[in-house]
Amino acid sequence: MKANTCKYCGTELKGRIDKKFCDDQCRTAYNNRLKADDTHMRNVNNILRKNRLIMKELLLTTEGKIRVSHQKLQDKGFNFYYHTHIYQTKTGNAYHFCYEYGYLILDGGYYMLVKREVSQS
């Protein structure tokens, strides 16, 4: 009969037949290693949420569109490298979206912020 070994360090386990780890340190280290890949995804999602919140706050006082400078977005902590998708219009304009809020790059260091209405079915 083959002896069970710790899933983290490989030490032979003694005690219960369904035991998976030799101690709490190995159990914690094993689970932390599994979740390490999730950390990057969590960081990206936090950036996307922050970008969305910045655009939402700027659009609150408007009728759905506003023109803002690159500097104003940057001062609020907007990260231009992250977005959820790009919407290409028939005229060739590319809107970068963070969920339902997006921006169109304009001339002179300005951006047109918009909110895309999501249809509920």
- The widest CA-to-CA distance across the chain, in whole angstroms, is 74
Sorted by where each begins, the domain ranges of the chain are 24-115
**Is the CB of residue 101 less than 8 Å from the CB of residue 113?**
yes
Sign of CA dihedral 43, 45, 46, 52: positive
Q: Which residue has the tokens 């599994």?
A: 34
Would the pTM count as exceeding 0.75? no
pLDDT in tens, 82-95: 999 999 999 999 99
What average pLDDT score do residues 81-109 get?
Answer: 95
Give the whole-number percent of the chain exceeding pLDDT 70: 94
What is the amino acid identity at position 89? T
Predicted pLDDT at 1: 47
Helix (H, G, I), strand (E, B) or coil at 98: strand
